[in-house]
Amino acid sequence: MSTQLVEPLDAAGAAAALGDANATGRSVIVRGAGTKLTPPASDVMISTTKMTAGVDHVAGDLVATLPAGISLETANDILRREKQWLPLDPPRSDRATIGGIVAANDSGPRRHRFGAPRDLIIGIEIALVDGRIAKAGGRVVKNVAGYDLSKLMCGSLGTLAVVTRATFKLSPLAPFSQTLVATGSDLRRLSTLALTLANAPPLSPTAIELQSPPHRLLVRFETTESAAAAQAKIAAGLCEQFGATTHVVSGQVEVDAWRAHEGRIFGMPGTVVKVAVLPTDVADLLAIVQRLTSAAGVECELSGRAALGIVLLRLGGDPAAHTTIVGELRREAGARNGSAVVVSAAGNDLFTTADRWGSVGDAEPLMRAVKARFDPHHILNAGLTPWD
């Protein structure tokens, strides 16, 4: 049987499609632009890409409500008219939709300064499997009453409900940007340098990204031109103390540098793994990654928010070797109260031999209870929960 495609224009259409599928026992895929995980085939696909109408920008309050199907880039083009923006920069943001970004809690290098979607979201509208529409939060930034449905939907991967609209705190656009590129010979030392730069009181970078190979830090300053130059000079001095050489890029060269940084993980084939540990454990983790990939003869590209403890790995070469590496990384990260999640796999069988999530520990009973409350018949995005 072929999958039925449903493309609702609003929350009412999405709720009606969900209610019908739930009543007839049909499984449902929820999909935006397809830049995130793609769940297995289902009876019905609800595409949010036509839910693009109704951007509500309250510039005076630095708040905007955005429809689920609009891309982040398109939304920010609208918000920039008032010199504001939603400060998220996930991979493929030219296509990634607001609904998909919320569902994946997806972020990029600027998470260092601005946080992830769950840090910026203050309101949400969702379509439920029983055909109803639910709303929470609103346009008031300090809204703490009641159940925090907005944050619950962040990272739920469409397994609880369909996000139809979301309201966010915004930030003013910075008038200038420049990036300090620090190159070193020792990856562990650069990781320690990232923590030093993050905690140096005069500095307020919007991003501190580690990349390898070659071993580099990209430190971005977005403020006035004079303030950015002053901060870059201080940061360069700290880098020199760690034996790193530095240069500064801005304008189109800076744009190209950050585009290349994203492409090293998401622009090439391979298995992408997201590892999260305490920032103080990143140096040890990087040494383990180097040992594992070298022993297996596997190509490895690395990037991430070292000062936040988040590292992305792209494993190349034979997918059969990736399973062992992922398992070892999970053991090492788990011993440090961290995690290793497979974002995408080079081999179709990787998710079955080294599952996507790994152990979720004591959280599983609560996660199952929340799933049962929102989707009792498990029709939504089957295969994306840790127990599927």
Q: How far from the centroid of its chain's Cα atoms is residue 335's Cα? A: 24
**Is a pLDDT exceeding 50 seen at residue 367?**
yes
- Please check whether residues 197 and 77 belong to one and the same domain: no
Domains identified in the chain, total number: 3
- Please check whether residues 148 and 50 belong to one and the same domain: yes
- The answer for residues whose C-beta is within 8 angstroms of residue 117's C-beta and 6 or more apart is 88, 101, 102, 105, 106, 107, 154, 168
**What mean pLDDT is predicted for residues 42-58?**
95
CB 63 within 8 A of CB 169: yes
| Alpha-carbon span 159 to 153, nearest angstrom | 9
pLDDT value at residue 364: 85
Q: What's the chain's average pLDDT?
A: 91
- Please check whether residues 136 and 191 belong to one and the same domain: no
Q: SS in 3 state form for 317-362?
A: CCHHHHHHHHHHHHHHHHHCCCEEEEEECCCCCHHHHCCCCCCCHH
pLDDT value at residue 243: 95
The CATH number of the domain holding residue 281 is 3.30.70.260
- Please check whether residues 286 and 200 belong to one and the same domain: no
| Alpha-carbon span 285 to 248, nearest angstrom | 28
Domain of 181? 176-260
- Please check whether residues 280 and 335 belong to one and the same domain: yes
Which tens digit of pLDDT belongs to each residue from 257-278?
999 999 889 888 889 999 999 9
Angle (CA) 78-174-62 rounded to 5° is 50
pLDDT value at residue 33: 85
**Is a pLDDT exceeding 80 seen at residue 84?**
yes
pLDDT value at residue 138: 73
- Please check whether residues 8 and 81 belong to one and the same domain: yes
- Please check whether residues 108 and 183 belong to one and the same domain: no
- Please check whether residues 21 and 125 belong to one and the same domain: yes
- Please check whether residues 352 and 367 belong to one and the same domain: no
218, β-bridge pairs: 181, 209
pLDDT value at residue 358: 80
The CATH number of the domain holding residue 227 is 3.30.70.600
Between residues 323 and 110, the one the model is more confident about: 110
pTM of the entire predicted model: 0.91
**What mean pLDDT is predicted for residues 63-79?**
97
Residue-level length of the chain: 388
- Please check whether residues 277 and 347 belong to one and the same domain: yes
Is the link from the previous residue into 213 a cis peptide, with omega within 30 of 0? yes
Which tens digit of pLDDT belongs to each residue from 204-250?
999 999 999 999 999 999 999 999 999 999 999 999 999 999 999 99
**Is a pLDDT exceeding 70 seen at residue 31?**
yes
pLDDT value at residue 36: 73
Last residue of one domain, picked from the residues 260, 291, 324: 260
Last residue of one domain, picked from the residues 240, 260, 280: 260
Band (183; pLDDT cuts 50, 70, 90): very high
Last residue of one domain, picked from the residues 260, 277, 306: 260
- Please check whether residues 149 and 22 belong to one and the same domain: yes
Band (99; pLDDT cuts 50, 70, 90): very high
The CATH number of the domain holding residue 386 is 3.30.465.10
pLDDT value at residue 145: 45
- Please check whether residues 136 and 68 belong to one and the same domain: yes
